[in-house]
Chain A
């Protein structure tokens, strides 16, 4: 052979990391603008609600009944963390995915390299997970500085928050891939799924106070499970059996959604 290419096939595990490296290069340009919507806004909500409600409700004994004695601010913080992570991850799973498939066609470009469609899908999900993790972590650090976090258990809580965000995100990414070259329909996801989930997941008040049909909604949402986990860890009220239940549910969704996402990426990229 007259020429020998310098290209080689990277190990399977490295493919997704190369996609993450690309995403990082891309994200570095504009992280300042995203930090406001993904972290600053939720923190403002935490302050206004946490502090405001504490003053408004004063020492109402009903509060202590469900917070287990901690202030409303401390009770609210882990739940707003999971919500913030989920919101950011959900957004990252909609228009950016469509852009990569049909507007900028980044994925088609990468698909012409030794990276496989599955590795591209894996990298995409990994990047969203890192975004959800970073939002959770930054939120946790600032909430700690604001006095809304009292325990080192916030560290595993950050991981649970990431897990919860991903359990929903993998499904949204899969949905997004089915919307390539069609009407996106993401407004339906935002308004009819994400918003109600944020209202019924026991973020602002305990799910136990809801009627049974509303409780049922909470139980299917990944956000309720991750909120229970994060809050339970932060406040030290989590019992191992329910922890296992929540984790199993979230991991199941992630496995299912990842499988679907990979299949759909292959179908879309290898026509």
Chain B
């Protein structure tokens, strides 16, 4: 559906996307993770044919965005990071008007609008102006709008940022339904649980480059351990126990109030730590998550 090699985007002398290779297969949900400024949106914008690439090769639905942007855009759906609804028009008008740009007749556009209102659970707000709607409702409307042309490929740039848990779960359910129908999806997100839930495969981007690639479980297996033991101490005293527990884990991370021990067997490591006289305020054994992978790959410092 999308294939890129050496894809690059520069703004002046600044390189936002630095020669990435990706291959998105039909029917899969593909994720982009990465800290702020990693180049996720820049990549999404090149794929959605609104931003010309600065270098490399890119094919979307088998076509080159430089030459067949309109043909590609006709068959994809785009949820931009920043909503761009018409706040003066009604919810329904936003959908109906948007469908028109895809060559859909006025009456068919109206039917489509009603169907999508149902889909986004906005039917009772159909006639209200967009402006006073809550952020979550606007986001749902933007997502509904991206579906007016029944896209084969859906690009979602941080679709759930700002949504409450109910709305996020509603959206996950909808995206899952679309996946069942065979719609290929590319998603960027800062929520690791979302990526784990939704994505078949994902890449982690950092400073314009891809630093890791695989399915969520593959990434966890490759970059983290099965379990993590968290030992909590009075802030400042955590450092003292490092020598005793060092040998118990594959890798140790020292946080201001905690030690994280990456290990295949958390409970085993915990009892071994107790035996060696380590007395944390509290402890917790948990499964490794994508968040551990993400933080390992992109560091804990803020980049922006």
Does A associate with B in a complex?
yes
B181→A113 contact, CB < 8 A: no
Nearest A residue (CB) for B181: A3
B73-A112 in contact (CB<8A): yes
Q: Do residues A7 and B50 form an inter-chain contact, with CB atoms below 8 A?
A: no
Question: B86 interface residue, CB < 8 Å from A?
Answer: yes
Which one of B31-39, B145-153, B162-170, B269-277 contacts A?
Answer: B145-153
Partner of A109, one of B51, B85, B150: B85
The distance from the CB of A121 to the nearest CB of chain B, in whole angstroms, is 15
A1 touching B82, Cβ below 8 Å: no
Q: Assess the B52–A270 pair: CB atoms within 8 A.
A: yes
Q: Identify whether the interface residues of B are mostly helix, strand, loop, or mixed.
A: loop
Residue B182 is within 8 A (CB to CB) of chain A in the complex: yes
**Which parts of B47-92 form the interface with A (CB within 8 Å)?**
48, 50-52, 69-71, 73-76, 78, 80, 82-89
B27 CB–A CB distance under 8 Å: yes
Complex Cα–Cα for A14 and B70 (A): 13
> Among residues 170 to 229 in chain B, which have CB atoms less than 8 Å away from a CB atom of chain A?
181-183
Tell me the bound Cα distance from A113 to B73 in angstroms: 5
Does residue B256 face the partner (Cβ distance < 8 Å to A)?
no
Closest 4 CB pairs of A and B: A2-B182, A7-B149, A105-B84, A7-B102
Give residues of chain B (253-297) contacting chain A, Cβ–Cβ below 8 Å: none
Asked if residues B87 and A7 are in contact (CB atoms below 8 Å), the reply is no
Q: Does B93 contact A (CB under 8 A)?
A: yes
Taking a contact as CB atoms closer than 8 A, the residue among A5, A9, A108 that contacts B70 in the complex is A9
- A-B contacts, 23 of them at CB < 8 A, read A2-B183, A4-B150, A5-B74, A5-B75, A5-B150, A7-B73, A7-B102, A7-B103, A7-B104, A8-B103, A21-B100, A26-B88, A29-B88, A104-B84, A104-B87, A104-B88, A105-B82, A112-B50, A112-B73, A113-B102, A114-B71, A114-B73, A114-B101
In Å, the complex CA distance between A115 and B101 comes to 7
* A108 nearest CB across to chain B (Å): 5
- State the interface size on chain A (CB cutoff 8 A): 32
- For A11, give the chain B residue with the smallest CB separation: B103
**SS class, residues of chain A in contact with chain B:** loop
Shortest CB-to-CB span from A257 to chain B, Å, is: 25
B27 (CB) vs chain A CBs: closest residue = A2
Measured CA separation A196–B88 after assembly (Å): 34
A-side contacts of B98, CB under 8 Å: 109, 113
Q: Which residue numbers of B lie inside 8 Å of A, CB to CB?
A: 11, 26-27, 48, 50-52, 69-71, 73-76, 78, 80, 82-89, 93, 97-98, 100-104, 148-152, 181-183
Pick the contact of B149 from A5, A14, A29 — CB < 8 Å? A5
Given A109-B85, A271-B51 in contact, is the A6-B100 Cβ separation under 8 Å? no
Contact assessment for B100 and A1 in the assembled complex, using a CB-CB cutoff below 8 Å: no
Residues of B contacting A114 in the complex (Cβ-Cβ under 8 angstroms)? 70-71, 73-74, 101-103
Q: Which residues of A contact B88 (CB under 8 A)?
A: 26, 29, 104
Cβ of B103: which chain A residues have Cβ within 8 Å of it? Answer: 7-10, 14, 114
Please name all residues of chain A whose beta carbon is closer than 8 Å to the beta carbon of B73 when the two chains form the complex. Answer: 7, 112-114
Closest Cβ of chain A to B94, distance in Å, is 9
What 1/0 mask marks residues of chain A from 5 to 29 whose CB sits below 8 Å from any chain B CB? 1111110001000100110011001
Q: Across the interface, do A2 and B26 meet the contact criterion of CB distance under 8 Å?
A: yes
Would you call A53 an interface residue if the criterion is a C-beta within 8 Å of the partner chain's C-beta atoms?
A: no
- Is A110 close to B, CB under 8 A? yes
Q: How far is the CB of B13 from chain A (nearest CB, A)?
A: 15
Q: Across the interface, do B100 and A18 meet the contact criterion of CB distance under 8 Å?
A: yes
A111 to B52 CA separation, bound complex (whole angstroms): 13
Residue from B76, B89, B102 whose CB has the most chain A CB atoms within 10 Å? B102
Q: Is A116 in the interface zone, CB < 8 Å from B?
A: yes
A108 contacts B80, CB within 8 Å?
yes
Whether A269 sits at the interface, judged by CB under 8 Å, is: yes
A199 CB-CB contact with B under 8 Å: no
Please state if B97 and A25 are interface contacts (CB–CB under 8 Å): yes
Inside 8 A of B82's CB, which chain A residues have their CB? 105
The residue on A at minimum CB distance from B42 is A271
Q: Give 9 new A-B contacts, CB below 8 A, not counting A7-B103, A25-B97.
A: A2-B182, A3-B150, A5-B74, A5-B152, A7-B75, A8-B103, A26-B88, A112-B50, A114-B101
* Cross-chain contact B93 with A9 (CB below 8 angstroms): no
How far is B150's CA from A2's CA once the two chains are assembled, in angstroms? 12
Out of A2, A6, A112, which one reaches B181, CB within 8 Å? A2
B101 touches A1 (CB 8 A): no
CA distance A269 to B51 in the complex (A): 8
Q: Give the shortest distance, in Å, between B15 (CB) and chain A (any CB).
A: 15
Of all chain A residues, which has the CB nearest B149?
A7
